[in-house]
Amino acid sequence: MISLKEAVYLEIEHHPHLVPNIFLFIDRRCFPEWTIQKAKIGFHDLTFVVEGMANYYINGEKFTVEAGDMIYVPGGSIREAHTFKESLMHSYPFNFFWAEPYNHIHLPFKGVTKKVITKEILGYIREFNHVWMSKQPFYHIQARALFELILHRLLTNYYRKAPMPIDPRIKKLTEYISEHYSENLSIAELAEWLHLSPVYLGRLFKQNTGTTLKEYIKRIRINNAEMMLSSGDFTVKNAAEMCGIDDIYYFSKLFKEMKGYPPSAARKQAGQ
């Protein structure tokens, strides 16, 4: 069971590691006496309301939900709910765990998000419902993919509530990094190249990309290293050096942190 003190809210760098394991999904059409009894949950509950109304209580805080709203109850929370007899709720709840060791990661949504269900999201939910109910061979793979499309849309909207074109200086910088990731990239020198202070560059980069410049460079290097190793043409040491990392022990540790498996496994897979 997750405790709220142990919870970590989702950041961009967590995304590659999160694999949802959905164990319950239903087309919930409430009857007048429907309730969820007060209890602490160890899973995550993401529920989409398409008709009617209900009161949800999350850790004692009351939320009234109606058609178009989304409820998120993270693992470790105390949850209870009831519908309104004069406006019975129709909803689609997804109950899931993140694959270990990431179940303590919480989505960034707080309680209820109002009017979040778009035509696109509703389409994914209905397709998920069809796949889940039909239970064809390998349906879990297709169902997970659809749920991840829903999460992708929700998170994209959350992190970019007011879509803005990327700052041309940041676009110029990301293009430069893509071509020069194998070199020694100093944040101070990159800032000077763009005629910015390192502090301002860091702030501007995170505003435009959702991640830090340091993390972005690491990700570009490791992604390229993974491609090299997967080809079978490079040793771990070669790949590390060609991606601008001279310390093979640091490279191996960073690779495993970001990919979830050691670099030797990527090379071994290429040889099979």
CATH number, domain of 61, equals 2.60.120.280
Domain count, the chain: 2
Choose the final residue of a domain: 159, 184, 208: 159
Residue 1: the pLDDT is: 43
Same domain? For 22 and 133 the reply is: yes
> Which of 103, 137, 159 marks a domain boundary?
159
Q: Are residues 16 and 133 in the same domain?
A: yes
Both 118 and 56 in one domain: the answer is yes
Cβ-based neighbours of 86, under 8 Å, separated by 6 or more: none
pLDDT score, position 268 = 61
pLDDT for 128:
96
List, in sequence order, the alpha helices (H) in the chain.
119-134, 139-159, 168-180, 187-193, 198-209, 213-231, 236-242, 248-259, 263-270
Find the CATH number of the domain harbouring 203. 1.10.10.60
pLDDT in tens, the chain (272 residues): 444 444 454 454 556 678 899 999 999 999 999 999 999 999 999 999 999 999 999 999 999 999 999 999 999 999 999 999 999 999 999 999 999 888 889 998 989 999 999 999 999 999 999 999 998 988 999 999 999 999 999 988 887 754 567 899 999 999 999 999 999 999 999 999 999 999 999 999 998 888 899 999 999 999 999 888 888 788 899 999 999 999 999 999 999 888 888 888 876 654 44
Same domain, 22 and 141: yes
Classify residue 66 as exposed, middle or buried by CB count within 10 Å of its CB (0-12, 13-18, 19+). middle
How far, CA to CA in Å, does 188 sit from each of 57, 191, 210, 259, 271?
49, 5, 20, 28, 40
On whether both 113 and 248 belong to a single domain, the answer is no
User: Looking at the structure, do residues 63 and 95 belong to the same domain, yes or no?
Assistant: yes
pLDDT for res 4: 41
Where in the sequence is the domain holding 226, given as residue range(s)? Answer: 168-270
- Which residue, of 137, 159, 181, is where some domain finishes? 159
Could you give the CA distance from residue 55 to residue 58 in angstroms, rounded to a whole number? 10
| Predicted pLDDT of residue 12 | 46
Three-state DSSP state, 3: coil
Same domain, 53 and 173: no
- The β-bridge relationship of strands 105-106 and 8-9 is parallel
Shared-domain flag, residues 130 and 208: no
User: Quick one: 152 and 180 in the same domain?
Assistant: no
43 and 153 part of one domain: yes
Q: Give the model confidence (pLDDT) of 32-65 as tens digits.
A: 999 999 999 999 999 999 999 999 999 999 999 9
Same domain, 135 and 83: yes
Let me know whether 16 and 124 are in one domain. Answer: yes
